[in-house]
Structures are given as structure tokens and as C-alpha cells.
Structure 1
């Protein structure tokens, strides 16, 4: 993947998520603490954005950081199932070991019930 391609893909993903939430570039900028022109540059793939700024944008969009990288590429297509799995993994990463074991048991029961 070329250097600029990843910037454009992530930028396009941010634009898509922003529009899905009905936010303008200005509104997203205000939520994340950025100037709207910076958001525009990121969305167009013109800025090599830092991980810390990506995390702030993800928080402003109310998504997990990994969702900013769930873009559709010619080589890799991310489905809604993939997004759901990533969301579940994100939730599990933010909880206790005890709740992870409980979630695992619940998941086993659900999957075994369908066989």
C-alpha cells in the first residue's frame, strides 16, 4: 500500500462516520478539539495524523479507534459482521476478566444452542 493511500482510506472512513452521525466538519472539530480545516485535511488524506489525534477523533465520533481503520479497500472488504466483531472485541477489552469469562460462557451457550 502506498504511503498516501492509507491516509486517504482513513480520511474517507472518518468522513463516512462523520456524515453517518450528521456532523459537519466544524461540529466534529469542536467535539474533538480541532479546527474544521484540519478535519477537512485529514478527510482528504492531506495530513499525516498522529495516533493521539486519531484517538481524539474516534472519541468525538463515539467509535472505537479500530473502527477508523475498518474501511473498504479494493483488496480487503470489511463487512458489517467484521465491524460487529471488532465492536465486541473493543467492549471486551474495556471490561474485567470476570466479565470476559461470563461473556465467553454466554457466547458458548448461544452458539451451541444453534447446532
Structure 2
């Protein structure tokens, strides 16, 4: 895989997550501490963004770093179902152990009633 291809894949993934969250480039930039034009350059694969800035973007998108590297292209597509599961995991990771246990019991109850 060529360098430029990696930049374009990560940029496309950031764009997809940004749109999924209903954010403009400007609002994502504000949340992450970047100028909107920098976000646009990243999304187009024009900037070789640092790992620290990738982490800031992930935080601004309220996703984990791994989600930024789940590329969107013809071969690997993140379905709506997978995106919703990832969102649930992100919420659980931010919760305390009691809330995680409660969520686990609720999910078990829902699945047992099918």
C-alpha cells in the first residue's frame, strides 16, 4: 500500500465518521482545536497528520483510535449495524463498572426475550 493511499483511506474514514455524527468540517475543527481547512486537507489525504492529531480528531469525533483505521473503501465497509455497535462500545468505555454491569444485564434480558 502506498503512503498516499493510507492518507486517503484514513481521511475518507474521518470524513465518514464526521458526517455520521452530523458535524461540519468547521465544527469538527473547533472540537479538536484545528482550523476547518486542516480538517479538509486531512479528509482529502493531502496532510500526513501526526498520531497526536489523530488522537485529538478521534476524541473530537467521540470514537476510539481503532475506528479511524477501519477504512471505508470497496473492500472494507463498516455497516450501519457495526457503527451502532461501535457507538455502544464507546459509550460503555466511558462508563463506570456499575453502569457497565447494568448495561450487560439489560442486554442479556433483551436477548433472552427474543
Q: Identify the TM-score tier after normalising by the shorter chain.
A: 0.7 to 0.9
| Cα pair distance change 1:17/1:83, threshold 3 Å | closer
Moved more, 10-19 or 96-105: 10-19
The residue that corresponds to 1:79 in the other structure is 79
Pair 1:83–1:27, CA change in 2 (3 A): closer
> Unaligned regions of 5+ residues in structure 1, if any?
none
Q: RMSD in angstroms over aligned alpha carbons?
A: 2.4
**8 Å contact from structure 2 (residues 29, 35) kept in 1:** yes
Aligned pairs for 1:1-115 (under 5 A) are: 1-19=1-19, 21=22, 23=24, 25-61=25-61, 63-65=62-64, 66-114=66-114
Equivalenced residues, count: 112
CA positional deviation for 1:34: 1.9
**Larger displacement relative to structure 2 (12-21 or 72-81):** 12-21
Q: Deviation string for 1:35-71 (max 9, x for gaps)?
A: 333222211112221232123223444x313443444
**Structure 2 alignment gaps of length 5 or more:** none
| Equivalent residues of 2:26, 2:35 under 8 A apart | yes
TM-score, normalising length: structure 1 = 0.76
Superposed CA offset, 1:18-49 (max 9, x none): 456352x4454344322333222211112221
Q: What TM-score does the superposition give when structure 2 sets the normalisation length?
A: 0.76
Q: Is contact 2:12–2:72 with CA below 8 Å preserved after alignment?
A: no
